[in-house]
Amino acid sequence: MSALDEIRAERLRKLSLLEQKGINPYPNRSSRTHEISSVLTEFENLTADLSVVIVNGRIRAIRKHGGSAFLDIEDGTGRIQIFLKKDEIGEESFSLFEEVVDTGDFIEVSGSAFRTKHGQESIQASTWRMLAKTLRPIPDEWYGLHNEDERFRRRYLDMLLNPEVAAIAKKRSLFWNSMRSYLLKAGFIEVETPVLENTTGGAEARPFETHHNALDIDVFLRISAGELWQKKLLVGGLPKVFEIGRIFRNEGMSREHLQDYTQLEFYQAYSDYEEGKRMVADLYRHIAKETFGTTTFTIGDHTVDLAAEWDTYNFCDILKREYGIDPLTASLEEVVSALKEAGIEKDSEAMSIERGVDLLWKKVRKTISGPGFLIGVPVYLEPLAKRSEQNPAVVERFQIILAGSEMGKGFSELNNPIDQRERFMKQQALRDAGDAEAQMADMEFVEALEYGMPPAFGFGLSERLFSFLMNMDVREAQLFPLMRPKE
């Protein structure tokens, strides 16, 4: 029997002892009057008027001294010391405590607030009772979970042992709600769009496939937060819409990429990408201040200040300068040659101009700190954006460049149904040729456009931005990243 098995067996014995005494080790209700944080905030008043408080919490430490014991308990709002004395709570209650209570257990304590001789804020217990008996010990706070796989798999323990993990959960909430409040204040309405789709749209990515038993059809998990659906809402007369939701992409994993994650997308009628630039820069500054209280961040080897003037980078100019090719006119042979010279090893037989140019950009992108807007992207890389009126070979699209990566994308939305149909067919041809990430041709969306969609600006950002501002791996920044089943 392992040490853990022995501890669990002993705790099961204590659980059985509680039940034998007619005590429910998992009662339905608590009589709590105060969160620990409110006791600490109101401590002076509580000690002055000798108020009786009832608090709950998990025991994180026990220090016994003959006929007394000091406990540290925490309830998620704070931690406080509890003083149990045999003479105060009675010999029977104190003996029961010694017999059945372990660190990790949840208890309820009633008593009065007082300071110890050393000035420690504490509660002198008059009664206690079990709220939840634990059967497994929490790893030692100093020598706990160090293996990354174990930390992610048992994130709840990681959170108990590392306060900064709990801080991630709180900051994630601030992060998404800062966007929600910003957009609601600007007159947007929050919507929900389908997660299961007949065709995927709004991005270039390999989807997850599944089967819908009731309809007996194959469907896909969405790869964007309802882009085509939200634009149908613009057709339907809603001028400002947004969604914060989960999306799924059946692709590789890296420091920046996961298969399921949260994304914001919003769409605003009678707007374009120039107006969108100003709005998005303001939104990012708002997110930074509301979530982190600053606009300056160190991200890897980059230092960025979102409050500074944002730069503008031209896609074609950068590739001409770095690789000597013009993305608008280069042949496939020229692109493959540039890839080889850049040291990017890819199967040239399966290569396309679209994929090759994108790979070349991704390499040079890593050197750009930002913040800034990447513009001048060829039409063949963006099937959903309007062509530039000055140069129809490129689209009115920008990407946010931050710390060598792409941190959001927006464009003047394509609302010409003829142009949209043609671009969908080109994407479908790429899929038919084996490009699993090319977009599917959604003719129902083209039909919606034929009823008329106003000129509009659309934008999306994912939780990658959160992980970058936290300066951590995107898996670390998620609460429960997907893991292989434990063998």
Percent of the chain at pLDDT exceeding 70:
98
Highest mean pLDDT among 90-104, 434-448, 468-482: 90-104
Is 438 inside any structural domain?
yes
Is 359 inside any structural domain?
no
- CA dist 137 and 158 (Å) reads 13
CATH number of the domain residue 432 falls in: 3.30.930.10
**pLDDT, tens digit, 9 for 90 and up, residues 394-404:** 999 999 999 99
Please indicate, yes or no, whether residues 104 and 168 belong to a single structural domain of this protein.
Answer: no
Is 240 inside any structural domain?
yes
**pLDDT, tens digit, 9 for 90 and up, residues 176-212:** 999 999 999 999 999 999 999 988 876 778 889 999 9
Strands 209-212 and 196-197, bridge-based pairing: unpaired
Please indicate, yes or no, whether residues 117 and 225 belong to a single structural domain of this protein.
Answer: no
Range of the structural domain that residue 255 is part of: 160-310+370-469
- CA dist 80 and 92 (Å) reads 24
Please indicate, yes or no, whether residues 86 and 192 belong to a single structural domain of this protein.
Answer: no
Please indicate, yes or no, whether residues 124 and 182 belong to a single structural domain of this protein.
Answer: no
Are 152 and 163 in contact, with CB atoms under 8 Å apart?
Answer: no
Please indicate, yes or no, whether residues 166 and 304 belong to a single structural domain of this protein.
Answer: yes
Is 356 inside any structural domain?
no
**pLDDT, tens digit, 9 for 90 and up, residues 456-468:** 999 999 999 999 9
Please indicate, yes or no, whether residues 381 and 419 belong to a single structural domain of this protein.
Answer: yes
- CA dist 12 and 401 (Å) reads 55
- CA dist 102 and 11 (Å) reads 8
Burial category of 386 from C-beta neighbours within 10 Å (exposed 0-12, middle 13-18, buried 19 and up)? buried
Query: Taking 50 as the threshold, does the pLDDT of residue 449 lie above it?
Result: yes
Is 8 inside any structural domain?
yes
Query: Taking 50 as the threshold, does the pLDDT of residue 142 lie above it?
Result: no
Global pTM reads 0.88
Q: How confident is the model at residue 145 (pLDDT cuts 50, 70, 90)?
A: low
Is 153 inside any structural domain?
no
Please indicate, yes or no, whether residues 169 and 103 belong to a single structural domain of this protein.
Answer: no
Query: Taking 60 as the threshold, does the pLDDT of residue 144 lie above it?
Result: no
**pLDDT, tens digit, 9 for 90 and up, residues 85-122:** 999 999 999 999 999 999 999 999 999 999 999 999 99
pLDDT confidence of residue 435: 79
Please indicate, yes or no, whether residues 109 and 169 belong to a single structural domain of this protein.
Answer: no
CATH number of the domain residue 125 falls in: 2.40.50.140
Please indicate, yes or no, whether residues 183 and 114 belong to a single structural domain of this protein.
Answer: no
pLDDT confidence of residue 256: 83
Mean pLDDT of 254-278: 93
Please indicate, yes or no, whether residues 50 and 102 belong to a single structural domain of this protein.
Answer: yes
Please indicate, yes or no, whether residues 298 and 432 belong to a single structural domain of this protein.
Answer: yes
Is 342 inside any structural domain?
no
Q: How confident is the model at residue 322 (pLDDT cuts 50, 70, 90)?
A: very high
- CA dist 375 and 356 (Å) reads 18
pLDDT confidence of residue 467: 95
**pLDDT, tens digit, 9 for 90 and up, residues 382-420:** 888 899 999 999 999 999 999 999 999 999 999 999 999
Selected residue with higher pLDDT from 50 and 141: 50
Is 435 inside any structural domain?
yes
Please indicate, yes or no, whether residues 114 and 180 belong to a single structural domain of this protein.
Answer: no
**pLDDT, tens digit, 9 for 90 and up, residues 273-320:** 999 999 999 999 999 999 999 999 999 999 999 999 999 999 999 999
Burial category of 309 from C-beta neighbours within 10 Å (exposed 0-12, middle 13-18, buried 19 and up)? exposed
Give how many domains the chain has, as a whole number: 2
